[in-house]
Amino acid sequence: MIEKKGLGVSHGIMTAKAVVFRHSEISVPHELAEDTEREKENFQRAVRSVLEDIASYKPKSDDERSMIAVHRSMVEDPEFTALVTENIEKKRYNALWAVEAAAGLYIGLLEKSGSEYFRERAQDLRDIERHLLMELSGKELYPKLSEPSILVADYLLPSEMFELDTSMILGICLDRGGKTSHVAILARSLEIPAVLGLGDISESVKNGDTVAIDGKEGVAVINPDKAAADRFRARRNAEARQEKALMKGAELPSVTTDGREIHLLCNIEGIEALNSVLLSGAEGIGLFRTEFLALHKDIFSNDELQGRIYSEVARIMGRLGPVTFRTYDLGGDKIAEELRTEEENPILGWRAVRLCMARKDIFRTQLISILRASALSPSVRIMFPMISGSEELQEVLSFLDEVKAECREKGIAFDENMKIGTMIEVPSAAITADIIADKVDFMSIGTNDLIQYTIAVDRGNDRISYLYRPLHPAVLRLLKHVVDSGESKGIPVSMCGEMAGEADYLPVLIGLGFRELSMSAHSILEVRNRVRSLSYESCRKLADKLLSLPEASSVENELREFNGKT
């Protein structure tokens, strides 16, 4: 039995067999082949197998259909296969080396061509090379989950989650990843227990080992002995009892003991979560991360599909309260295949509105779809991510005006009074929130990014997660400034970062003046329960005290003491 400690990022206790998936680079042995005939056969077998995989893909669009056709023609390309065969026969390279050398030559030529089209084909050829090397080295592209299992991996991109059958994933253990990384957010939204930042768990676990995880405590145990298995079972039963007790509060109002209403809304990543939102008794959708749709559905050019999804959400959720569509926050770790770029600093790079304003075709389609949904419910709101200041916001607002004018011309109905908001998640926007507030109807603070950029600490990097301190005095001051700016300009300020869903931070947030918090559905019950135990007056005094403290640790200690007492 081996016990490992990591970051508990998605609650739940689970024990099951493990399926291991590593992205490890395939090491290509640069050794001469002993038997060239066998190497040629290996190559031909790999080609057949890749072609079978390609044939089994089910294209969901014309673009996917043409991509599959390109891949097939590349694998079968007579010049490419002749070069690999020549590398084996004449240079006596083994099959892996022969593929690497042939693909490397073609990729170099395509990349040097200066044409966008050929550079994209170089990317296709890289995929084919990886696929062939995987086949030749006996590795899987993605694990096949034939039975419900715990997925153990080195890391996982949100887009990769969609390659897997998530209904078969009972739990997730990763070597890397932080609490507010998007894979963690997705795990919470899919209600899959997850422990991240476990160091080398993907090397310690073998396929078929039993793994027990506690997604709250951040513990993973490999092949638990009887005592550990009993401990996990007891904790699981206790958690189930606690959840049942919380469910009883689903219909109670979210109000402090001295009568201040705190509106609790949900963050969603797709329509699958709507049921949990309804069960939680949330008062609307504070954040719909629409980009997650684009990671697993061919959606960019399909305004009909987008329109259908947005309208469905507006129709079902509009009765509860606001339904906030955040425009695509693509880029960073949320990479749609079509928009893949090589960047040194993707988190500071071409993402969110920056990307959308450069790809107005994609942006326009999305804006029209959101506008269409606004005709169905006055609750629909639009919100822009990663706004860095007033000028950038103005450009985006002007583009929205252009698209509205187009809609009017074409007779597309929309709500002329649809509320427009912006995320405040870049420090420059937080500092100038008083200026930004003049241009919008509401602001919503994205603490996941705001903390990352304020403290310069990558939110997805577990190695420096000790620096990721939501209670850092700099963060508290920014939060206070944004809330005060909203109040002085008469517009609401909410919070939709993960900090909003942690019951322990609630006294600080209420004390700073937040009246609307948006979180994943499974946090709502616990947070509502906590709201009902707090008085606004004592939270306000607490926030004043915390704002006067010099260090994150002193703020954390003070809050811990407050939470212990109430």
- Cβ-closest position to ligand PEP: 446
Q: Could you say whether residue 333 binds Mg ion (CB under 5 A)?
A: no
Q: Could you say whether residue 526 binds ligand PEP (CB under 6 A)?
A: no
Q: Could you say whether residue 449 binds Mg ion (CB under 5 A)?
A: yes
The angle at the Cα of 11, spanning 6 to 17, to the nearest 5 degrees, equals: 70
Give the Cα separation of 189 and 162 in Å (integer).
13
Q: Could you say whether residue 179 binds ligand PEP (CB under 6 A)?
A: no
Q: Could you say whether residue 425 binds Mg ion (CB under 5 A)?
A: yes
In the three-class reduction of DSSP (H, G, I as helix; E, B as strand; rest coil), residue 403 is classed as helix
Continuous segment of H or E residues that includes residue 20: strand 13-21
Q: Could you say whether residue 446 binds ligand PEP (CB under 6 A)?
A: yes
Of residues 302-331, which lie at the interface with ligand PEP (CB under 6 A)? 329
Q: Could you say whether residue 496 binds ligand PEP (CB under 6 A)?
A: yes
Partners of 423 in the β-ladder:
444
Dihedral sign computed on CA atoms, order 352, 512, 532, 527: positive
Which partner, ligand PEP, Mg ion, none, binds residue 496 by CB below 5 to 8 Å per kind?
ligand PEP
Of the two residues 254 and 447, which places its CB atom closer to ligand PEP in the complex? 447
Q: Residue from 254, 388, 447, 485 that binds ligand PEP (CB under 6 A)?
A: 447
Give the Cα separation of 8 and 12 in Å (integer).
9
Least distance CB 70 / ligand PEP (angstroms)? 32
Least distance CB 338 / Mg ion (angstroms)? 21
Least distance CB 425 / ligand PEP (angstroms)? 4
Stretch that binds Mg ion, among 183-191, 257-265, 320-328, 425-433 (CB under 5 A): 425-433
Least distance CB 355 / ligand PEP (angstroms)? 14
Q: Could you say whether residue 94 binds ligand PEP (CB under 6 A)?
A: no
Task: Mark 393-432 with x for binding to ligand PEP (rule: CB under 6 A) and - for no binding.
Answer: --------------------------------x-------
482, 445 contact by CB (below 8 A)? yes
Q: Could you say whether residue 475 binds ligand PEP (CB under 6 A)?
A: no
Q: Could you say whether residue 289 binds ligand PEP (CB under 6 A)?
A: yes
Hey, which residues are catalytic here? Answer: 182, 496
Give the Cα separation of 16 and 304 in Å (integer).
41
Of the two residues 333 and 449, which places its CB atom closer to Mg ion in the complex? 449
Least distance CB 292 / ligand PEP (angstroms)? 9
Pairing of strands 2-5, 219-222: antiparallel
Classify residue 477 as exposed, middle or buried by CB count within 10 Å of its CB (0-12, 13-18, 19+): middle
Q: Could you say whether residue 214 binds Mg ion (CB under 5 A)?
A: no
Spatial CB neighbours of 307, under 8 Å, sequence gap ≥ 6: 368, 369, 372, 373
Give the Cα separation of 71 and 77 in Å (integer).
10
* Phi, psi values for residue 324, rounded to 5°: -105, 110
> Residue for token digits 């908001």?
421
Stretch that binds ligand PEP, among 239-247, 275-283, 445-453, 473-481 (CB under 6 A): 445-453
210, 18 contact by CB (below 8 A)? yes
Give the Cα separation of 561 and 566 in Å (integer).
9
Least distance CB 165 / ligand PEP (angstroms)? 24
Which partner, Mg ion, ligand PEP, none, binds residue 447 by CB below 5 to 8 Å per kind?
ligand PEP
Give the Cα separation of 128 and 71 in Å (integer).
7
* Tokens of residue 524, six digits: 């709502």
Q: Could you say whether residue 486 binds Mg ion (CB under 5 A)?
A: no
Of the two residues 143 and 501, which places its CB atom closer to ligand PEP in the complex? 501
**Residue at 304: amino acid letter:** E
87, 113 contact by CB (below 8 A)? no
In the three-class reduction of DSSP (H, G, I as helix; E, B as strand; rest coil), residue 418 is classed as coil
Least distance CB 182 / Mg ion (angstroms)? 9
Binding residues for Mg ion, rule: CB under 5 A, are 425, 446, 449
| Contact residues: ligand PEP, CB under 6 A | 185, 287, 289, 329, 425, 446-449, 496-497
